[in-house]
Each structure stands twice: as C-alpha cells, then as structure tokens.
Structure 1
C-alpha cells in the first residue's frame, strides 16, 4: 500500500542520489509519477529539482571538458538544427530506452495489419474500426491534415460520448509522445491542462498512431476567422484574456526547458468551462478542470533542452510562413525566440 505514497519514491531516490546512482534515481521518480503517487504535485516538484541538480552537474562536467580541450574556444556555443533528420535520429537513440517506462507506449517491429490501411483517405477510413491496444476506435471525421500526419476524431469502443483524436503519421514518429511525457513530468497539475494530453502511442514499422484528447470547439485561428467572416473585431477583453493565456503558456514551458517550436493559432485549441460563465469565476479561474482557457497541441516540433548541451543554440527554419521568428528570417541562431 506504500506504493501510493510519494514519500516512498522521493526517499529512495534521495538514497540513490547520495550514492551517486543518478540514472536509477531518475527512474524511481518516473515510476512514482507514472503510478500517480500522492501528493503527485510534490513528487513532480522534487523530480524537477533533481533534474535541475543533474543539469548543473552535467554543466560543470561539460565546462571542465571544454577547458581540457584546447581546440575549442571558451563559451563557444554549439549550433544544431533540432529538426534535421540526423538530429532527430540521434535524439531517438538517446530516448528510446526510456520511452518503454512510460504508460501507454506500444511498439511493434511489424507493419500495421488492420483490414484498412491507416494511410487511406478519410473517405475510406470513415466509420471504419481500428483496433489498437485492446480498444476499438471508429473514425468519424478529420480535424486536420499536415505534410506527414493526419488527425481524425474517433469514438472509443462504440461509446459515442467518448471521443478522442487520432494522429496518424507516416513514417512513424516517436518524439511527439516523448514531449507529452515530459510535460506530464515537469508541468504542475494546475498548468498541465494548457498543453494537451497524449494517452497512448502505437508504433509500427510503417506508421504511428498517437491517441490524444479531442476538444470540439476548434482552434484560435477558427475564432479569428469567424470574426473576420462577419466583419467584426474580437472584443478587447477577450483579446487580452487570450494574450495572457498564451504568454502564461510560454512562460511555463520555458521555465522547465521546453520549446514548442511551432506556436501559432492553428495549434491552439479553444476550451470552454462546463458550467455557466460568470464574471466571478472568469476572474478567479484556477484551472480546476481541463476544459478552460486555451490548449496548446501539436508537439511534433517540440524541443527538450535537457537533451542538448547547456550552451546549445539552434539554427533551423520551422517552415511556417508568417510565424518564423526574426532570427530564422535572417538565418541567425535562436533558442526561445522560436
């Protein structure tokens, strides 16, 4: 019964840290968080403190190594394209072993063997059943299509009340699920609903399926366009509210070393409270439920700074016209500017 208590995992992790077993300590924290040991928020904070401590140790070791190497100039940053195929392959090798410990991660070396190929068009997939991890998903429609991925809304086990989003990608792509897991580990329970949830990841040799929350009210871009269609401007107080939401998102992410990399209205979903909106609960919003405010999704270009040396700067283009930071436009290095 002690497995439900956060103190068990924190105490054992501290014991391992004292004996220099840092990798084992990180695994213990991960197990405790995956089991939702209480108080979970405190356990996440202790894990984050440990990660920062570990980062300091790595920084000191890296600085010492740089001093020993005479052919590397002091404080010279390494420059990496975080989205290049070579970088992503390197990151996958680094995180591959750790992914197996996360709940909801399923990997097969075989191709998907369902009756209908997952790469089929919506017309072929509509109302078809897809079996993944013991559950059956029935595709009802599309919510978006990108260069490599398609997102569908689907019911779960014939329950019309339970709807999820299925992100089907070809070739298969694991890093996005990793980013969602890092959000679970690093973001407090209060702020976590602002960044979407991924419940399962099914990897096949030819395709991957990410099972996420489905939010029915569209994107912030839809809100903007709905006002333009009728020739109206959005209310000033609503603009202020959404702006505060977005700034808070970025501040929260950057404080834990995470960059979204593709921050734009298309990737921000609109949420509504389940109850009546009054001035009092609007002003005192504390995110006690998932369906409030804005929700940032699509972590395919997400960057975990913990996977790179501390002095790393990035040089690459997000490829999204109109949302490229000035550093990208001028071919300069960037980090949080993205």
Structure 2
C-alpha cells in the first residue's frame, strides 16, 4: 500500500502558486505524475511548436473563418508524441498560457463533423502540470454528476520549456459573455436565470471543496455555459437533474491557480504574492492569510455580475454579534456587503442571506471553521425550492430563457 506523501517543508502561510512551492508539491506525489493517464513525460526534451501553432492560428478569424490571402498550409498538423492536431483559431490568452481550438486528426480522418473532433489546446510557457493534476484529482474524487460541471482533460504533453494540455471544447461562451450580451441589449439576465446558474455554481463549488480542492480563481469568465442538446426536457425544473435538466448548467475552467489542500498540513494558510484586483477576496488584497475565502468571494462576484451587470464592490459595516472567534461574547465585528443594493422586486432576503454567507465565512461557524460546505448546501436547497415553485409563473419560463441563451450562441 502506498504511503501518503510527506508534506514539503514550507513556510506558513505560503504562496500556493510560487513555482518552487508547486515544484515541491508535485515532486512529492505518490504515485508520481508520469503514472497518471494521459500524461506524456518529455521534461528532458525541448519543444518548439509554439511559433508554428501561433502562425497557423492567425490563418483564422475569431469567428472560425479562414482568412483570405493565406499562404500557409492550414492542413499541416502539429504533432506531440504520436498525436497530431489541426490548428484553428486562438480562443483565449492569459499571462502564461494561450488556448486554441484544434481538431484531433485521428477523429477528423474518420468523421468530418468538426464538433465531434474539436478540442481545446492550452499551451503554457514555462511548462506547467498543476492544472492537469488538479483536474485529474477532481475526476478521481468526485463520484457524482457534478463532474460534468468541471472541464475534462484528455492529455498533457509536458516538455522542458513548454507544455500542451488537450481539453474538451465547449463552444457556448461564458457567463460573462451572457452578461455582456444582455448589457449590449440594454437589459440584464432575468432573476430566474440567475437563480439557476447560482444553484449550479453552489453545487459545483460544494463538490470541488469536498474533494479537497480550492479553485483559487473563480470568476465569470472562468465559467462556461453548458447547454447540451436533449431529446426530452420537462418544463418543470428538477434540481436532481432528471427529465433533461442534467444537460443544462455550467462548466468551470482554468484550474491554474488551484490548490489541493490534502497535500498541505491542515493548518496551512496561503498568501497572495501577486498583483490583486477587485475580483480577489479581501484577505488577498490586504496581504492577509486566506484559504477557502478565495472561492467564496469569487462565487459572490459571479452572482453579483449576473444580477447587476457589473463587477462587485463591497463595503465594511460594523455589527454587534455573538461570536465565538475570540470567545463566547457579544462584540462589534466587521462584516462585508455589496455596495449595490438589491432591487425591490428581487428575492432580497435570499440574496442577502447568500452574500452574507459568501462575504463573511469566518463568522458562519464556531471558531470560524471552514470550509462551510454544509451551509452552502442549505442555502442552495432554499434556492432550489424557490426555483421549483417559480420556474413557470407570471408568463416567465426558465426553460424558455435557457433555450434563448442556446439560440444566441
């Protein structure tokens, strides 16, 4: 029987995305990374496919149409080990990585239907295996339909100087895209839709946390819409996923800043040694230790974005409360709330309850214990009951709203 990995000797708190910390953590894995399905170990070799991929991607516009006056052979595949891919357009770019739409040539040779052979290819320089490891662990630890709400990974080609991760391709855009589209039309997402996606987010974050993972970068553009075709879809919302509802939801992506807390001592806290912004939790911005707060704040930010068409800003308020953090006494404590208030015709009491929970997790349980997964589940179930009772009411239809989102993609 394999022994659990010994904890690396790290300062507490530590920066979880420090390359040296990640290297120590991944080096201690048992079994090691090269035993993981889909991991292609070429860390002693260099790879120079980056410029070729970029050149091929420039042959396509953002709508996936081939550019005119292109002299490059767009059918020339890019090869990693024995696997080859046809490069289509660039679909994303961040500080360390780029994401491309590609076609798996093995599938492509058999079936000309691009959607069946489409993949997302993420290149990173310098090479990184953290995201691949995190997603593999989530696939291993989550034994429920919620796994469909997490991006799946096919393989990682890990070279000395760069890495390439092949993932499923989801083409229906992000929550941020949906919000921005509504904003351009001088409207906003209906509260019923916000309820639906909030439930899906809560459900997914609960499962991720129960698996011992902190995502670390939860935001609206890291949350894809998952609106799969379904033959029979009942108009009555069913939170169990029955009657077609399991095919509708979200897909969380970008686990590049994620943390497997099982690889650290229980009392380990983390510190953000990077440039922060309003989408990061208060502790990160103030240079204080944090842990699960990162995801709670990120989740609150997405919900706020859906409700108000803008990023969340918060304000502190002093309240008197019975707290157990410094002993069983009544004292004034600082709580946070969004600056923008809820519209009078919204379900203000439920939204207030949710934001109180997500923005003040240290005040939820005795001694400030986290994660607060059970409390998230409790409020999710309240949201589900509201949606069950109101999914088809006063001329509004949740299923109709979701179908409209599908058509707009």
* TM norm. shorter chain > 0.5: yes
Q: Which has the higher contact order (CA 8 A, sep 6+)?
A: 1
1:106 is matched with: 40
Whether the 8 Å contact between 1:164 and 1:213 is mirrored in structure 2 is yes
2:218 is matched with: 263
Whether the 8 Å contact between 1:262 and 1:318 is mirrored in structure 2 is no
1:249 is matched with: 204
Determine the C-alpha separation between the residues in 2 that align with 1:253 and 1:287: 25
Q: Does 1:333 align with 2:267?
A: no
TM-score by length of 1: 0.72
Shift of 1:187: 0.8
2:91 is matched with: 143
Determine the C-alpha separation between the residues in 1 that align with 2:54 and 2:29: 26
- Secondary structure of the 1:154 match is strand
Shift of 1:323: 1.1
Whether the 8 Å contact between 2:223 and 2:253 is mirrored in structure 1 is yes
2:77 is matched with: 129
Determine the C-alpha separation between the residues in 1 that align with 2:258 and 2:30: 16
- Secondary structure of the 2:218 match is coil
Determine the C-alpha separation between the residues in 1 that align with 2:242 and 2:91: 29
* CA shift in 2, pair 1:81/1:286, >3 Å: farther
- Secondary structure of the 2:134 match is helix
Whether the 8 Å contact between 2:217 and 2:257 is mirrored in structure 1 is yes
Shift of 1:321: 2.4
Question: Of 7, 10, 18, which residue of structure 2 is paired with 1:84?
Answer: 18
Determine the C-alpha separation between the residues in 2 that align with 1:94 and 1:302: 17
- Secondary structure of the 1:313 match is coil
For structure 1, which runs of at least 5 residues remain unmatched after alignment?
1-20, 24-53, 60-76
Query: Could you list the per-position Cα deviations for residues 82-105 of structure 1 after superposition, in whole angstroms to 9, with x for gaps in the alignment?
Result: 112221221232238611111110
* CA shift in 2, pair 1:155/1:215, >3 Å: same
- Secondary structure of the 2:224 match is strand
2:262 is matched with: 306
Alignment of 1:211-290 (within 5 A): 211-275=166-230, 277-280=233-236, 284-286=240-242
Query: Could you list the per-position Cα deviations for residues 208-250 of structure 1 after superposition, in whole angstroms to 9, with x for gaps in the alignment?
Result: 1000000000111101101000001211110001111111121
- Secondary structure of the 1:315 match is coil
- Runs of 4+ in structure 1 over 6 Å off: 287-290
Shift of 1:134: 2.3
Q: Does 1:207 align with 2:162?
A: yes
For structure 2, which runs of at least 5 residues remain unmatched after alignment?
61-65, 67-73, 295-409
- Secondary structure of the 1:328 match is helix
1:73 is matched with: none
1:322 is matched with: 278
- Secondary structure of the 2:35 match is coil
* CA shift in 2, pair 1:118/1:312, >3 Å: same
Query: Could you list the per-position Cα deviations for residues 279-319 of structure 1 after superposition, in whole angstroms to 9, with x for gaps in the alignment?
Result: 13655525989853001011100100011111101111564
* CA shift in 2, pair 1:288/1:275, >3 Å: closer
Query: Could you list the per-position Cα deviations for residues 51-72 of structure 1 after superposition, in whole angstroms to 9, with x for gaps in the alignment?
Result: xxx79xx89xxxxxxxxxxxxx
TM-score by length of 2: 0.60
Determine the C-alpha separation between the residues in 1 that align with 2:20 and 2:239: 47
* CA shift in 2, pair 1:318/1:239, >3 Å: farther
Query: Could you list the per-position Cα deviations for residues 110-155 of structure 1 after superposition, in whole angstroms to 9, with x for gaps in the alignment?
Result: 1225596446573169835211242321111121100110000111
Whether the 8 Å contact between 1:176 and 1:300 is mirrored in structure 2 is yes
- Secondary structure of the 1:95 match is coil
Q: Give the superposed CA RMSD.
A: 2.8
Q: How many residues align?
A: 270
